[in-house]
Amino acid sequence: MTDDIFAEMEADAVDATVIPEDADLSGVAALAKKQLQLEKAVTDTEEVLKNLKKDLQHTQTREIPDALSELGLSSISLDTGESVVVKPFVSASITAKRKEEAHDWLRANGHGDIIKAITSVDTGRDVDAAERAREALAAAGLAPDTKESVHSGTLKAFVREQVEAGVPIPLELFGAFLGQKSTITKG
């Protein structure tokens, strides 16, 4: 049966000695050129977007908060009906490079409960082994793989909580950034 399929494929195959016309090749060349132009446009647009996001963040976290602070204000209403409000914000993210050190610090300082542990077992296609593993990993003779992480929202809340309580924490260890951020809402 397999021989029949291959024989049929060979019969359907295009004769490799047929050389396409120049007109056919120029059409493919034009499409290849179009693809290259589109790839470049996407790359250029992504770079423009990246720069716009950086500029927006700078305006939100530096320019507007600083300008309002100089005026002794934390909010204003614009004549167009929008309100500009500056509020504190926290950003935090544990890098892969500092993960172990950050987790050790959290455990040593009584905050290990915010670390999530995920255990998984690779059983390939053996569904029965997966079921046995769920029931009793040791009895199934499988070695689980455990990964730990702190959810970004949990980490931000933790950092905010500690800072507001005046508890000293190593901000650089958690990639934490504290600042002010403006938001604009329609009136």
Give the C-alpha separation, 81 to 27, whole Å.
55
Query: Is the per-residue pLDDT at 93 higher than 60?
Result: yes
Matching residue, tokens 């329609």: 186
**Does the CA dihedral 53-58-63-69 come out positive or negative?**
positive
What Å distances lie between residue 97 and 65, 83, 94, 152, CA to CA? 32, 41, 8, 16
> Cβ–Cβ contacts within 10 Å for residue 156, how many?
18
Give the position of tokens 């490079």: 97
Mean pLDDT of 108-124: 86
For residue 106, what pLDDT band results from cuts at 50, 70 and 90?
very high
Query: Could you report the per-residue pLDDT of 69-85, keeping only the tens digit for each?
Result: 999 999 999 999 999 99
pLDDT grade for 17, boundaries at 50, 70 and 90? low
Per-residue pLDDT at 148: 82
Q: What is the mean pLDDT of the chain?
A: 87
Q: Domain-by-domain residue ranges, the chain?
A: 1-73
134 confidence band (pLDDT: 50, 70, 90): low
CA distances (Å), origin 88, targets 36, 65, 73, 85, 124: 45, 10, 13, 10, 48
Per-residue model confidence (pLDDT) at position 2? 62
Residue 77, classed as helix, strand or coil, is strand
- Percent of the residues in the chain that have a pLDDT greater than 90, as a whole number: 66
Average pLDDT of span 167-173: 95
At residue 25, the pLDDT reads: 84
* Averaged pLDDT, 60-70: 96
Confidence of residue 138 (pLDDT cuts 50, 70, 90): low
Predicted TM-score of the model (pTM): 0.60
